């Protein structure tokens, strides 16, 4: 059985706070993006996933072998000496100068490690707050029609969040939403290839979000990639029905009909009209999918 405590360099008495601190410290050196080994990083993630969950930790602890009992203290001589080791006269084992120096060095190293962990947590917290602030400014700029400024803020938020080591699904969903925000901004600036790249990144992080697939469909439709748009609209519609998201469901249904007609331009006498409609497809900012209406491409 894997020694999860050993992987995180902890003892069985470690508290939840110590477990998280150890995980963050090891991530800072073992993450593949920072030159670490992928296999080692996966072991660290697996160990943390078990030990940070109260029920899984309890089940794991039950399977561990019992701790060895402490050996009895060696008897001391009348002069307080056992095999050349200095001891106290009262019968308690003493320590040599070399042992005391070694313990002192270990204490200093432990204190330094704890300080490094604290610093790592502080940086983590600071980056999250900065990412939230950048996202807020980006959304304000987007709604004001200042897409260049919105792009700058969203890019900063993506940079800050991309440097984090996610431990919850909420963290991952948030990063996916940031990619969607930036994709919608790229689309408003007619940088559709960049918009599509960001949407693909968002799908990688959040493959079951109806909003993400809707945004991909809208970007593909603007790029005249109607077959891809049809597939994405259909997936967005399926997911929206599961989520019971009426706004996304309505937008996906409308977009799907337009893409289906536009895809038959070559054989449909009315294809030109459908193509003209498709060019005006709405690119919705994810935060605006709370009503049935979406924004027209290029509008404020």
Please give the span between the terminal C-alpha atoms of the chain, in angstroms, as a whole number: 59
Q: Which residues lie closer than 8 Å to 139 by C-beta, 6 or more apart?
A: 150, 181, 285, 287
pTM of the model: 0.52
* Per-residue pLDDT tens over the stretch 13-58: 888 878 877 877 787 677 666 677 888 888 888 888 888 888 888 8
User: For the domain bounded by 1-65, which CATH number is listed?
Assistant: 1.10.287.110
**What tokens does 112 get?**
């330094």
Q: Nearest 5 degrees, angle CA 297-CA 299-CA 300?
A: 135
As a whole number of Å, the CA-based R_g of the chain is 29
Identify the CA nearest to 199 among candidates 213, 185, 188: 213
**Sequence ranges of the domains in the chain:** 1-65, 130-288
pLDDT in tens, 161-208: 765 555 566 778 888 899 999 999 999 999 999 999 999 999 988 899
pLDDT digits (tens, 9 = 90+) for 233-292: 999 999 999 999 999 999 998 888 888 887 764 334 334 444 443 444 445 555 454 332
- How far, in Å, CA of 213 to CA of 215, rounded? 5
CA–CA distance, 214 with 237 (Å, rounded to integer)? 8
Q: Strand ranges (DSSP E) for 74-217?
A: 81-82, 85-86
Exposed / middle / buried, residue 240 (Cβ in 10 Å: 0-12, 13-18, 19+): buried
pLDDT for 281: 44
Contact 261, 270 (CB under 8 A): yes
H or E element, residue 151: helix 147-162
CATH code for the part of the protein at 130-288: 1.25.40.10
The reply to whether 130-288 shares the fold of 1-65 is no
91 pLDDT exceeds 60?
A: no
């Amino acid at each position: 059985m894997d020694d999860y405590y050993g992987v995180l360099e902890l003892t069985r008495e470690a508290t939840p706070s110590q477990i998280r601190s150890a995980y963050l410290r090891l991530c800072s050196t073992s993450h593949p993006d920072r030159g670490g080994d992928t296999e080692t990083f996966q072991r660290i993630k697996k160990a943390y996933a078990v030990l940070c969950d109260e029920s899984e930790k309890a089940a794991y602890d039950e399977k561990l072998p019992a701790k060895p009992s402490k050996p009895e203290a060696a008897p001391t001589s009348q002069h307080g000496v056992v095999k050349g080791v200095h001891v106290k006269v009262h019968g308690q084992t003493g320590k040599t100068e070399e042992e005391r120096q070694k313990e002192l060095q270990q204490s200093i190293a432990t204190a330094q490690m704890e300080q490094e962990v604290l610093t790592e947590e502080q940086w983590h917290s600071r980056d999250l707050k900065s990412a939230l602030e950048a996202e807020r400014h980006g959304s304000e700029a987007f709604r004001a029609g200042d897409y260049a400024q919105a792009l700058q803020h969203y890019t900063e938020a993506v940079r800050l969040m991309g440097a984090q080591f996610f431990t919850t699904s909420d963290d991952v969903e948030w990063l996916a939403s940031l990619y969607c925000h930036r994709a919608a901004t790229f689309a408003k600036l007619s940088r559709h290839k960049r918009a599509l790249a960001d949407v693909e990144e968002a799908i990688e992080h959040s493959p079951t979000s109806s909003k993400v697939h809707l945004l991909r469909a809208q970007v593909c439709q603007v790029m005249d990639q109607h077959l891809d748009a049809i597939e994405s609209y259909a997936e967005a519609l399926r997911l929206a029905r599961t989520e019971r998201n009426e706004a996304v469901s309505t937008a996906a249904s409308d977009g799907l009909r337009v893409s289906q007609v536009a895809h038959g331009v070559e054989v449909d006498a009315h294809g030109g009209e459908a193509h003209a409609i498709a060019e005006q497809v709405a690119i919705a900012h994810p935060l605006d999918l709370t009503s049935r209406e979406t924004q027209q491409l290029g509008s404020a």
